[in-house]
Chains A and B, each alone.
Chain A
Amino acid sequence: MNDDRPPKLPERVAQIQEMMDTIIANVVLVGQIPAPTFSEQERVDFFLERLASFQVDECTTDGFNNAIGVIQGTNRNRAPIFLVARMDSPFGHEVDHHFTIRKETITGAGLLDNALGVGILLSMPEILRRLALRLESDLVLAGAIQSIGKGNLRGIRHLLQTWPTPIRGAVCMESGELGRLNYYADGMIRGEIVCRVDPLQERPHRFLPNAILVINEVINQILALRLPLKPRAKIILGTIHGGLKHGQIAHEARLGFEIHSDADELVKNIFTDLEDIVAGLRHEYEVGLTIETVSNLRAARLKYTHPLVKRSVALMQGLGLEPFSEPCESELSIFLARGIPAVTLGITHGDNYQQVDATMRITPMFTGIAQIIGTLLAIDEGACDG
């Protein structure tokens, strides 16, 4: 008797593995093109040229220069499904971007952040073709520019703001870790506090302040803030820079921070507290002390019982993965904020994230791709249509 059932997801893993050469080639060829935020053009050009060589139906950019490929579905009345990876990486042209492939791993700057995601995006037309899969919906392969840091997700914000039709659902891809399932995003403000001391300013009653010590006092006062347990909230002090050399009082210092909470109002209130701290110390020390918002996000979420989340959990478990969830401040939050059901999935396991020797494991990647295919199929079968 003929078995006409489509292959189950675990069987797809082996089929995808047969395409290893093409998938790795895509990851390497696109990842070796430096694409620091605001300078993604060369990678965008390569991405579109490459998609066209895979006979993708439409390859273009939107008005913001996000890279877009559309694989047409069988039903033109269906709203499209988005598969998204960000194009920009934290490393500039001065960093060696040549990747090293070994038997089980690939290593290179920007690989996990997020060349792997872009490489999978590029591979998707060929993967679907080889798996003989065609969705009812159009599949939009979106490479979003200006995502990280001061990019503040501008690319994806613009893309969704100007997209002319409803969107059925979306899968956002992050390189790692395999097993992550993000379906909610915290409200977040990312900001920077900068202290500048003018050495020429007359100060008849005091010594020249040290910018590092002023920032130190800012930190002390932030640490003294009382944060509620409900709604939960946290302040992350993520970066600090200051001074020029060991024997000279620092004239400038910077503190980078993020405020997170599942309540937008609380994020705003904490930011106001920080503004008060800054205003008080500015007055006290007579220095240029400023606080600026670099980027912000609104809190948004799917419920755990949403069909997209439930289907994602089930298919990940079917692949032997144990899903884990945490808030995610990425493209996902922009989809959710616009009421578009979406999840973020990790592709493989890796080490040395955000470092020049970031390393990914090759074999788990095929399971990661299979879960992405499964999730796209789930959306196409109506998991987001309720």
Chain B
Amino acid sequence: MDSRWMRTNTFHYADFNDLQALVEAKRRKGLSISLCLPTLNEEKTIAKEIVIVKSELMSRFPLVDEIVVIDSDSTDHTRDIARAYGADVHKAAQILPHLECYTGKGENLWKALFVTRGDIIVYLDADIKNIHHRFVYGLVGPLLLDDRIRYTKAFYDRPIASDDHTLRPTGGGRVTELVIRPLFSLFFPELTQILQPLSGEYAGYRAIFEQIPFPIGYGVETSMILDIYQKWGLEVIGQVDLEKRIHRNQDTKALGKMAFAILKTFIHRKIALGMIDVKGGLHDEMIQYTIVGNRIEPDIVRIKGVERPPMIEVPEYRAQRAKMAGDGPHTFRNATPQEDRAE
């Protein structure tokens, strides 16, 4: 396996600490940047993400032009809180409402393409307890300063302490180590260099995101890597060390469902590429078991593996983008007053 990519396309967020340089690069290239936070009941963490990014990367350094929350019908105060702190908040179901409605993180990310305006889109999970603006500028940095890079993916915890030549685990989660890494090792060894392929923080050019399909659920991170790799090659992908990330832990059953969705996405991609032939197709039900009293009961969840088509194929999106191109520079809703004047 050629492991050159690991050396040339791995970055550290501290490489991009000079925020003024990033702002200047963004202006020079005439780009705008949107931050998208997909949510489902994230009232404990959403405000902190918005406040810190707004303060550091909108008010102090105008790097981010808009913060957009795409919510999957939260039953807590997520939308209310996000709105109070100035984010542009949308219910996923109300975006492109004539389409069949699905619930899932991938659905929110896909619909974000329709409501955001930026040339670069940063996706962050909304449950980060130790949010810091490095999560955004670390991912954006390579996109602005390295012309090879079109998509960046986060990883956390330093995987290798080089000073004393000691090795540490990559910090990949259970699903990464038990599902994704074995699959990549079997079929795409080059992709094992992506240390945390399931991390929920990534950024890229709209021109990339709008040309790939989005599974509506957990498979979205896997499909994104596979599709970008197939279409543009590994060279356009960068990975960024964001050091430490603290988030909510998930139980094994939830991870099982996640693994099911990821496997399904992966196998579908393999079939499409003609690399495998699955006789009789795949089932849609994840079957787990629960002990209730003295009985063992099946817990069946249907995970259909629906995918949204590339957004560029949606007529409303094409019409909207054409109109925006005709309208000239856009004034972002939650940009700072200084930014409005600058534009």
Interface residues of A (CB under 8 A from B): 20-22, 24-26, 28-29, 32, 98-103
Known contacts A32-B130, A101-B47; is-contact A24 B80 (Cβ 8 Å): no
B34 CB–A CB distance under 8 Å: no
Cα A99 to Cα B131 in complex, Å, equals: 10
Q: Which of B48, B56, B60, B86 contacts A101 (CB 8 A)?
A: B48
Docked-complex contact A29 and B132, CB < 8 angstroms: yes
CB of B60 within 8 A of CB of A28, answer: no
Whether A99 pairs with B48 at a CB distance below 8 angstroms is yes
A98-B55 contact in complex given A22-B60, A32-B130, C-beta closer than 8 Å: no
Q: Is A21 within 8 A of B54, CB to CB?
A: yes
Q: How far is the CB of B111 from chain A (nearest CB, A)?
A: 25
A102 to B55, CA, bound (A): 16
Q: Tell me whether A98 and B84 are in contact in the complex, defined as CB-CB below 8 angstroms, given that A24-B51, A28-B52, A103-B47 are known contacts.
A: no
| 26 chain-A/chain-B pairs, Cβ below 8 angstroms | A21-B55, A21-B59, A22-B60, A24-B51, A24-B55, A25-B51, A25-B55, A28-B51, A28-B52, A29-B52, A29-B132, A98-B129, A98-B130, A98-B246, A99-B48, A100-B45, A101-B48, A101-B51, A101-B81, A101-B85, A102-B43, A102-B47, A102-B77, A103-B47, A103-B77, A103-B80
**6 further contact pairs, Cβ within 8 A, besides A20-B51, A98-B129:** A21-B51, A21-B85, A24-B55, A28-B51, A29-B132, A103-B47
- Interface size grouping (class) on chain B: 20 to 34
Are the C-beta atoms of A28 and B84 separated by less than 8 Å?
A: no
Which residues of chain B are near A99, meaning CB under 8 Å?
48
B27 contacts across to A, CB distance below 8 A: none
Chain B contact residues, majority secondary structure: helix
Which residues in A have their C-beta under 8 angstroms from that of B321? none
Distance of A284 Cα from B45 Cα, bound (Å): 59
Q: Which residues from 37 to 92 on chain B have a C-beta closer than 8 Å to any C-beta of chain A? A: 43-45, 47-48, 51-52, 54-56, 58-60, 77, 80-81, 84-86
Top 9 nearest A-B pairs by Cβ distance?
A: A25-B55, A101-B47, A21-B55, A98-B129, A21-B54, A22-B55, A101-B48, A103-B84, A25-B52
Residues from chain A with Cβ under 8 Å of B43 in the complex? 102
Mark each residue of chain B from 15 to 52: 1 if its CB lies under 8 Å from any CB of chain A, else 0: 00000000000000000000000000001110110011
Instruction: Check if B60 sits within 8 Å of A100, measured CB to CB.
Output: no
Most A CB within 10 A of own CB, among B43, B44, B52, B85: B52
Report Cα–Cα, A102/B86, bound state, in Å.
Answer: 13
Residue among A22, A26, A100 making CB contact with B48, cutoff 8 Å = A100
In the assembled complex, the Cα of A385 lies from the Cα of B57 at a distance in Å of: 42
Q: Who on chain A is nearest to B56 by CB? A: A25
> Which residues in chain B, 123-174, are within 8 Å of chain A measured between CB atoms?
129-130, 132
Query: From A18, which residue of chain B is reached at the shortest CB distance?
Result: B337
B83 to chain A, nearest CB (A): 9
Q: How far is the CB of B329 from chain A (nearest CB, A)?
A: 24
The answer for the CA separation of A12 and B336 in the assembled complex, in Å, is: 20
Bound Cα distance from A355 to B268, whole angstroms: 52
Distance A25 CA – B80 CA, assembled complex (angstroms) = 20
